[in-house]
């Protein structure tokens, strides 16, 4: 089987917020160009920590993270952004006192020169934001904020987008539209790592998925395989409990 070079490779990574207390305990992870990979797992398994570590917000104590053929351990977030990876945090993912327009500009801070074309592309993707462009982001609804947060992260046309629980705190209807959006972004060739609580829905549309448990990758497989795996189902998808 030919194995093309992965876009991102995380190998045997240990990391945590304080010394001697690693949340991630030897996690492995891979994503290939164009893939949509879902990371699920119980609370405290290290899903968000993995996302933060990949993005340089935490420095791994051990292990390697290779993005696009280069080691990115020890780089700061603003340097990682320049290499074509963007990240949408779970909460507080827009600048509330900046306007929608300014929020998008901040997404392309590392770029110099006119941002008009980049912004127009985002507005084409999220027409809802156009009428709000001069409005402060703090006045947006939950769904609009999520669109703005993704728009900000897409300003640089990244190769890889990391989304940390984009469906958290949204109504079920909005969750569907956010997932639609994620699929659409992915279909444009952007690889996406999706960290989700909403495991069933996320796995259904993913190319592959990882199940994390206590800071390690417990299961790995294609979306449908994980969905149908009785062990995964019982432990993490709530099956067998009279669903």
Q: Which is nearer to other proteins, 133 or 218 (CB)?
A: 133
Q: How far is the CB of 4 from other proteins (least distance, A)?
A: 28
Task: Considering the complex, state which of residue 146 and residue 209 has its C-beta at the smaller distance from other proteins.
Answer: 146
Q: How far apart are CA 166 and CA 21, in angstroms?
A: 27
Does 160 help bind other proteins (rule: CB under 8 A)? no
Scan residues 37-66 and list those touching other proteins (CB under 8 A). 55, 57
32 binds other proteins (CB under 8 A): no
16 is a site residue for other proteins (CB under 8 A): no
From the centroid of its chain, how far is CA 213? 18
Name which of 17, 2, 7, 35 is nearest 210 in CA terms.
35
Residue 78 C-beta: closest distance to other proteins, Å: 5
Q: Using CA atoms, how far apart are residues 179 and 201, in angstroms rounded to an integer?
A: 8
Min dist CB 96 to other proteins, Å, is 6
Find the part of the chain contacting other proteins (CB under 8 A) among 97-105, 122-130, 165-173, 200-208.
97-105
CA distance 222 to 220: 7
For residues 189-228, which are near other proteins according to CB under 8 A?
Answer: none
Q: Is 21 in the site for other proteins (CB under 8 A)?
A: no
Tell me the closest approach of the beta carbon of residue 8 to other proteins, in angstroms.
16
From residue 29, alpha-carbon distances to 12, 115, 148 in Å are 9, 34, 28
Single out the segment in contact with other proteins by CB under 8 A; choices: 24-32, 78-86, 116-124, 229-237: 78-86
Choices 66-74, 83-91, 178-186, 191-199 (CB under 8 A): range interacting with other proteins: 83-91
H-run or E-run covering 150: helix 142-154
In this structure, what DSSP letter does residue 99 have?
B
CA 165, CA 158: separation in Å to the nearest integer?
19
Stretch that binds other proteins, among 8-16, 71-79, 199-207, 211-219 (CB under 8 A): 71-79
Q: How far apart are the first and last CA of the chain?
A: 38
- Residue 164: strand, helix, or coil: strand
Using CB under 8 A, pick the residue from 110, 130, 169, 204 that binds other proteins.
Answer: 110
CB atoms within 10 A of CB 117: 8
Taking CA 7 as the corner, what is the angle to CA 16 and CA 13, rounded to the nearest 5 degrees?
20
**Sites of contact with other proteins (CB under 8 A):** 55, 57, 76-78, 81-82, 86-87, 89, 92-98, 102, 105-110, 152-153, 156
């Amino acid at each position: 089987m030919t194995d093309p070079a992965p876009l991102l490779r995380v190998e045997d990574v240990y990391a945590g917020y304080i010394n001697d207390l690693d949340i991630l305990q030897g996690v492995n992870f891979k994503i290939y160009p164009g893939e949509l990979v879902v990371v699920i797992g119980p609370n405290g398994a290290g899903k968000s920590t993995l996302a933060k570590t990949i993005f340089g917000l935490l420095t791994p104590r051990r292990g390697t993270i290779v993005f696009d053929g280069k080691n990115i351990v020890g780089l700061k977030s603003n340097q990682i952004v320049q290499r074509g990876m963007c990240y949408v945090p779970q909460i507080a993912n827009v600048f509330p006192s900046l306007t929608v327009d300014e929020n998008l500009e901040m997404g392309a801070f590392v770029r110099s020169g006119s941002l008009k074309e980049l912004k127009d592309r985002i507005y084409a993707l999220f027409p809802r934001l156009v009428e709000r462009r001069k409005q402060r982001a703090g006045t947006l609804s939950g769904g609009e904020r999520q669109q703005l947060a993704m728009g900000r992260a897409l300003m640089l046309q990244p190769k890889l987008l990391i989304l940390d629980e984009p469906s958290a705190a949204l109504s079920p209807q909005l969750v569907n539209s956010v997932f639609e959006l994620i699929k659409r972004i992915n279909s444009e060739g952007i690889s996406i790592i999706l960290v989700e609580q909403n495991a069933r829905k996320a796995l259904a549309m993913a190319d592959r998925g990882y199940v994390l448990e206590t800071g390690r990758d417990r299961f790995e497989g294609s979306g449908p395989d994980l969905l149908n795996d009785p062990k995964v189902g019982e432990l993490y998808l709530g099956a067998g409990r009279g669903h």
